Structure 1
Amino acid sequence: MVREVTGIRYVTPLREGGSVPGVVEADDLGTYVVKFVGAAQGRKALVAEVIAGELGRRLGLRVPELVRFVFDPVIALGEPDQEIQDLLKASGGLNLGMDFLPGSLGFDPLVFPVDAEEASRVVWFDALIGNVDRSWRNPNMLVWHRDLWLIDHGASLIWHHNWPSAPAAAARLYDASDHALTRFSPDPAAVAGELAARVTEDLLTEVTALVPDEWLVDEPGFDTPDDVRAAYRDLLGARAPRVHERITLAPSVREKQPPPEWLRPWVEGHAGRSDADGRGAR
């Protein structure tokens, strides 16, 4: 997140998410999904997007490029929905843009296979950032050019909503029993050594430095934005070496039993799909 772009045309809102991001064209001729600072989740959702997204990228996971997005509500005067207009008017200035992936499809575990190593890396990463929003109900993953891409990390780092209790909250177990990748037999412990070794103080300093000061100022209990950055760095750095020990997986994954109950309706409904159908849907 080193580039800054300016919006020139508001295209459409995306109503699937609670934060109602929008598709906006920018002055670099790119198109972005913009997460607005005026959304109900507030600036902390944008902080989580930056830290989690940029950390994931440095760990070798695919995350769409993030940019500092300057938005002027004037470019969206044609939007007819009054609630969205109120959101846009409250979001003038600096927001977060995520590169729009044209033609991408929402991830479906019955159509797009993921190898066990990649599944293991994603589950380990989600445990590290405390991501509670990658379940089979809402995978927050896209398939683009036959590759898996991770999106929407605003609900991660949930402990930063109450810093005094953050160490205790971060030490809790991470329940991955309904993670969207459970059917691919993830083994986070198998990749923990390599990934944890990469989560260094220097890397975390680099990632947290990408968060704009204005999203960190006036945080209760902290004197400066750099103090807040240090809190993120210290917590994630302490969490990384042993986070794999806190991950709980569904018994069906560990023992390679039949799919869990929540997946069986999907399996039955897709039983007639051929391999060719699956490849064509990617």
Structure 2
Amino acid sequence: MLRETVATRYITPLREGGSLPGLVEAGDLGTYVMKFTGAGQGRKSLVAEVICGGLARRLGLRVPELAVLWLDPVIGLAEPDQEVQALLKASGGANLGMDFLPGSLGFDPLAHPVTSAEAGRVVWFDALVNNVDRSWRNPNMLVWHQDLWLIDHGAAVVWHHHWPGAAASAARPYDASDHALAPFAPDIARAAAELAPRVTQDLLAEVAAEVPDEWLAEEPGFAGSDEVRRAYGRILAERAGTVHERIRLGPPKPQRPPEPPDWLTGGRGGRRAGK
């Protein structure tokens, strides 16, 4: 299970993206980027973070450590932004915290070359979880202590937004043409040979067990939280063996920037937190 701690101080909102995560201090003396159940994407975004983060970590990819952060909305009373206050008020109880990576920088493909083997592992993993949010426009990767870290998986496992069509959705090809690591000649075959055998039912059950029951409760079409967990495991297990055959690496969109992108100098990707 994920570690649990209590949010003790709301520091500041992080305004990149639409979910309005916040930087908080917690009772374990840690600093976290907190994502809220009351945000527009709702609890399924947090479920995706836990599923993808737990799976990535077990496959040897770097992701910030996750924790369940218990929130008393009273900690935001001094926050002058009414939007933030409304978000905190709507998010009492269990929320998700990601370990803050102080001094981290947004991934710059010109300043931080990546081997084809590492690029292949990341692209294969993103195909497995159907992560559509790792393009050159918005890499959702940080460089911390010279290592590449993966963040922001709330938009992945998109099929869980419509479970009746989950099997068909999960079987679709994964277009990696605009993936932020596509220029590094990702070795997909090597990644599949290395990682796919490790995606077992036992591993997936272990990952899904980390999702709090309250984030899976009352899912339409399911008898309970454990049945939802098994559904995640079933789809991911089915994808793992053959998803490499459905990865497309074509030419990028013509508007691809030839110079360092704007996110590096102040846009979304240039953030310094583990958000």
The TM-score bracket by the shorter chain reads over 0.9
Q: How big is the shift at 1:191? A: 1.5
AA partner of residue 11 (structure 1): I
With over 3 angstroms needed to count, the CA separation of the structure-2 counterparts of 1:143 and 1:223, relative to structure 1, is: same
SS at match of 1:236: helix
Give the structure 2 partner of residue 265 of structure 1: 258
Q: Deviations over 1:149-171 (max 9, x none)?
A: 00000000000000000000000
Q: Which runs of 5+ in 2 are unaligned?
A: 263-275
Q: Deviations over 1:225-262 (max 9, x none)?
A: 0000010000000110000001000247xxxxxxx744
Matched, 1:47 2:43: no
Matched, 1:163 2:163: yes
Q: How big is the shift at 1:112? A: 1.0
Matches within 5 A, 1:17-28: 17-28=17-28
Q: Contact 1:182–1:250 (CA<8 Å) still a contact in 2?
A: no
AA partner of residue 48 (structure 1): A
TM-score normalised per structure 2 = 0.92
Q: Distance in 2 between matches of 1:152 and 1:264?
A: 22
Q: How big is the shift at 1:267? A: 6.6
Q: Deviations over 1:18-41 (max 9, x none)?
A: 100000000111000000000000
Matched, 1:204 2:197: no
Q: How big is the shift at 1:50? A: 0.1
Runs of 4 or more off by more than 2 Å in structure 1? 260-265
Give the structure 2 partner of residue 278 of structure 1: none
SS at match of 1:56: helix
Q: Distance in 1 between matches of 2:221 and 2:125?
A: 28
Matches within 5 A, 1:116-195: 116-195=116-195
Q: Distance in 2 between matches of 1:208 and 1:190?
A: 26
Give the structure 2 partner of residue 11 of structure 1: 11
Q: Distance in 1 between matches of 2:25 and 2:189?
A: 42
Looking at both structures, which has the greater relative contact order when contacts are Cα pairs under 8 Å and sequence separation is at least 6?
2
Give the structure 2 partner of residue 230 of structure 1: 230
Q: Distance in 1 between matches of 2:245 and 2:98?
A: 32
Give the structure 1 partner of residue 112 of structure 2: 112
Structure whose CA Rg is larger: 1
SS at match of 1:51: helix
SS at match of 1:266: coil
Q: Which runs of 5+ in 1 are unaligned?
A: 253-259, 270-282
Q: Distance in 2 between matches of 1:262 and 1:41?
A: 29
AA partner of residue 44 (structure 1): K
Give the structure 2 partner of residue 100 of structure 1: 100
Between stretches 121-130 and 78-87, larger displacement belongs to 78-87
Q: Contact 2:170–2:239 (CA<8 Å) still a contact in 1?
A: yes
Between stretches 26-35 and 243-252, larger displacement belongs to 243-252
Q: How many residues align?
A: 262
Give the structure 1 partner of residue 90 of structure 2: 90
> Percent identity of the aligned residues?
69
Give the structure 2 partner of residue 280 of structure 1: none
Q: Contact 1:62–1:149 (CA<8 Å) still a contact in 2?
A: yes
Bigger fraction of residues in helix: 1
Q: Distance in 1 between matches of 2:260 and 2:207?
A: 40
Q: Distance in 2 between matches of 1:154 and 1:34?
A: 13
Q: Contact 1:159–1:165 (CA<8 Å) still a contact in 2?
A: yes
Q: Contact 1:68–1:95 (CA<8 Å) still a contact in 2?
A: yes
Q: Distance in 1 between matches of 2:157 and 2:261?
A: 36
Q: Contact 1:142–1:149 (CA<8 Å) still a contact in 2?
A: yes
Q: Deviations over 1:35-77 (max 9, x none)?
A: 0000000000000000000000000000000001101111111
Q: Distance in 2 between matches of 1:49 and 1:34?
A: 12
Q: Contact 2:108–2:260 (CA<8 Å) still a contact in 1?
A: no
Between stretches 45-54 and 183-192, larger displacement belongs to 183-192
Q: How big is the shift at 1:2? A: 2.3
Q: Contact 1:130–1:157 (CA<8 Å) still a contact in 2?
A: yes
Q: How big is the shift at 1:78? A: 1.1
Q: Distance in 2 between matches of 1:132 and 1:266?
A: 23
SS at match of 2:127: helix
Q: How big is the shift at 1:117? A: 0.5
AA partner of residue 238 (structure 1): E
